[in-house]
């Protein structure tokens, strides 16, 4: 049961970080700043930005 809860918590935390990064992108924050605060890689942030602009 603990493993399931840990996975659920990790998924929700990642979803929150994605939402946070999207908000920062929408506010034209720099990629470096988004990487610093979201803990995503540059590649992940750029992929997210590309999805948003598509």
**Could you read off the pLDDT of 5-51 as tens digits, one per residue?**
999 999 999 999 999 999 999 999 999 999 999 999 999 999 999 99
* pLDDT in the model for residue 2: 79
* pLDDT in the model for residue 12: 97
* pLDDT in the model for residue 54: 81
* pLDDT in the model for residue 1: 66
- CA 25/CA 30 separation, integer angstroms: 8
- CB-hemisphere CA count at 13 Å for 21? 27
Give the per-residue SS3 of the chain: CHHHHHHHHHHHHHHHHHHHHHHHHHCCCCHHHHHHHHCCCHHHHHHHHHHHHC
């Amino acid at each position: 049961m603990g493993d399931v809860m840990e996975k659920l918590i990790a998924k929700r935390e990642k979803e929150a970080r994605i939402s946070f990064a999207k908000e920062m992108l929408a506010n034209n924050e720099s990629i470096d700043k988004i990487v610093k605060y979201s803990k995503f890689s540059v590649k992940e942030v750029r992929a997210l930005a590309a999805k948003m602009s598509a």
